[in-house]
A and B are shown apart, each in its own frame.
Chain A
Amino acid sequence: MKLIKKEDLPGLYGYLASAGKKIFAPVRKNGMVSFSFTSAFEEIEMSYIQTKLSAKAAAFPKIEKLMKYTIQKEGQSYEPYDVEKFPGIVVWGAHPCDAAAFHPLNAVFTWETHDKYFTRRMENLLIIGLSCTSHDEFCFCTSVGVHPGDTKGSDIQLTPLPGGDYLAEIITTKGEAVAAAVPALFSPAPGLNKEELVTSVEKRFDHEALHAKINGMFDHPVWKEQALRCIGCGACTYVCPICSCFDIQDEGGIFGGLRYRCWDSCGFGHFTIHTSGHNPRESQDTRWRQRLMHKFSYQPQRQEVFGCVGCGRCSRNCPVDMNISEHLTQIMAV
């Protein structure tokens, strides 16, 4: 356990920037805090409850260009984007839920095939976590196995001290390499109980029990009841740090173009539509069920991860208040 003084944070930022890293950090603008690429430490907002969009874009951006193609008389050719040119990215100041979310995200992109774009971005990623000293009523990390002081996923974890300095835990070898490069920024930590510094989030249900229960609920009437007001948009999915569905698109003209993947959502009515016109998820309740079953039944079963870290974004941003922890609590009760 180390200490980093608040006046030394810009030094850490400066070191990472000078090492060529792109720093993706919470920035307050237009009345909201969002992860953005920054060019100066001063842009960063270190005290926030939760950002609008998650940090997943650092590895799974809303648009990932895959290749360029040309179509000519002589034939077709394509040229994939060079992953070696991907910049190193630092996710700066991600709360424990967001830092933890990269693990289940990674589980999807490395499940059978190792997606080379995602994997490369992950290899290049450094995560500086930030323990939570406050939360709101949408946060429910403790119900899904994450804790506001957790270090899982982070390379270095900062915990704010009342005076403005930070406890710094060096978690991984990536983190160690950084600390070793700028040793002067870190001093020995005072003897403090970290538990007392972080916020305490009430546990609403137990995720293992939820998993055991939800597995058998495919045909339960609760989905129909819960999903009536859902408008089938992509808001919950796009703000979620774990939702990983994507679409692949070709865009261009007759002589060539560009192939990319972009975010997609199981909430959309046409997500599962077949060429025949048949839609296996023909109503919104079957899509809502998919969202929850995927996160709490299928992902734990197949990839041994939960698809939710309790960040509460989906609930804060849903236009019709489909509050996920409220719904999960109800599911535990039926």
Chain B
Amino acid sequence: MDQFEPKIVAFVCNWCTYAGADLTGTSRLKYAHNVRIIRFPCTGRIDFLLLQQAFAKGADGIIVSGCHPNDCHYTSGNFHARRRWMVFRQMLENMGVEAERIVFSWVSAAEGAKWADLVNETVESIKKLGPYHKYQDMAKSLEEWEVTHE
């Protein structure tokens, strides 16, 4: 492999980070192309199961981002999310998952530059970590299942 290009999935809220990423584009700021953005109404809607799915489908890294505290369009979605992530990160740690592959951020609609930095930095850090083979190998378990594995 010449150069590892990590697959990054970004789960972002509609009202801040998605708009922020839009601004990055309209401001013609260039940033790493490794990210696939998935838009959600609010960070409060981002179930941890989505993150599990992203890893299982081959993501090497994940970005989760929404409105800054007190800026959530639905008042408290991001506060709920923040707690959930505190617990989820710890749970991943306890089960041996590389929690630092998930990067959390607050990016407002005005922070186009922050979004570009966030993506670039995340791509850099995931490049250092390398592909998430462990999880991806586990995700192949059905394909590779043989009766003689019993």
Are A and B direct contacts in the complex by CB distance below 8 Å? yes
User: By the criterion CB–CB under 8 Å, are B57 and A251 in contact?
Assistant: no
User: By the criterion CB–CB under 8 Å, are B143 and A258 in contact?
Assistant: yes
Q: How large is the interface on B (under 10, 10 to 19, 20 to 34, 35 or more residues)?
A: under 10
Nearest residue (CB) in B for A260 is: B142
Q: Mark A60-87, 1 if CB is under 8 A from B, else 0.
A: 0111110000000000000000000011
In the complex, what residues of B have CB within 8 A of residue A251's CB?
A: 142
Q: Does B145 contact A (CB under 8 A)?
A: yes
Q: Does B150 contact A (CB under 8 A)?
A: yes
User: By the criterion CB–CB under 8 Å, are B143 and A36 in contact?
Assistant: no
Q: Does B148 contact A (CB under 8 A)?
A: yes
Q: Which of A246-271 contact B (CB under 8 A)?
A: 251, 253, 258, 260
Q: Does A316 contact B (CB under 8 A)?
A: no
Q: Does B95 contact A (CB under 8 A)?
A: no
User: By the criterion CB–CB under 8 Å, are A35 and B143 in contact?
Assistant: no
Interface residue from A36, A65, A87, A89 paired with B145 (Cβ < 8 Å): A65
Q: Does B149 contact A (CB under 8 A)?
A: yes
CA distance A57 to B149 in the complex (A): 11
Interface residue from B57, B143, B147 paired with A61 (Cβ < 8 Å): B147
User: By the criterion CB–CB under 8 Å, are A57 and B143 in contact?
Assistant: no
User: By the criterion CB–CB under 8 Å, are B150 and A57 in contact?
Assistant: yes
CA distance A197 to B17 in the complex (A): 76
User: By the criterion CB–CB under 8 Å, are A63 and B57 in contact?
Assistant: no
Q: Does A37 contact B (CB under 8 A)?
A: yes
In the complex, what residues of A have CB within 8 A of residue B150's CB?
A: 24, 35-37, 57, 61-62
Q: Does A289 contact B (CB under 8 A)?
A: no
CA distance A121 to B150 in the complex (A): 15
User: By the criterion CB–CB under 8 Å, are A258 and B142 in contact?
Assistant: yes
Nearest residue (CB) in B for A61 is: B147
In the complex, what residues of B have CB within 8 A of residue A63's CB?
A: 142, 145
Nearest residue (CB) in A for B145 is: A63
User: By the criterion CB–CB under 8 Å, are B57 and A57 in contact?
Assistant: no
Nearest residue (CB) in A for B141 is: A63
In the complex, what residues of B have CB within 8 A of residue A253's CB?
A: 57
Q: Does A281 contact B (CB under 8 A)?
A: no
CA distance A310 to B57 in the complex (A): 44
B105 to chain A minimum Cβ distance, whole angstroms, is 28
A78 to chain B minimum Cβ distance, whole angstroms, is 15
In the complex, what residues of B have CB within 8 A of residue A95's CB?
A: none
In the complex, what residues of A have CB within 8 A of residue B149's CB?
A: 37
Nearest residue (CB) in A for B143 is: A258
Q: Does A22 contact B (CB under 8 A)?
A: yes
Q: Identify 16 residue pairs between A and B in the complex whose beta-carbon atoms are under 8 Å apart, listed by A's number.
A: A22-B148, A35-B150, A36-B150, A37-B148, A57-B147, A58-B147, A62-B150, A63-B145, A64-B147, A65-B142, A86-B147, A87-B147, A89-B148, A121-B147, A251-B142, A253-B57
Closest 8 interchain pairs by CB? A61-B147, A37-B148, A22-B148, A57-B150, A63-B145, A251-B142, A37-B150, A258-B142
- Report which B residues bind A (CB closer than 8 A): 57, 142-143, 145, 147-150
Beyond A61-B150, A63-B145, A87-B147, 5 additional pairs, beta carbon < 8 A: A24-B150, A58-B147, A65-B142, A251-B142, A260-B142
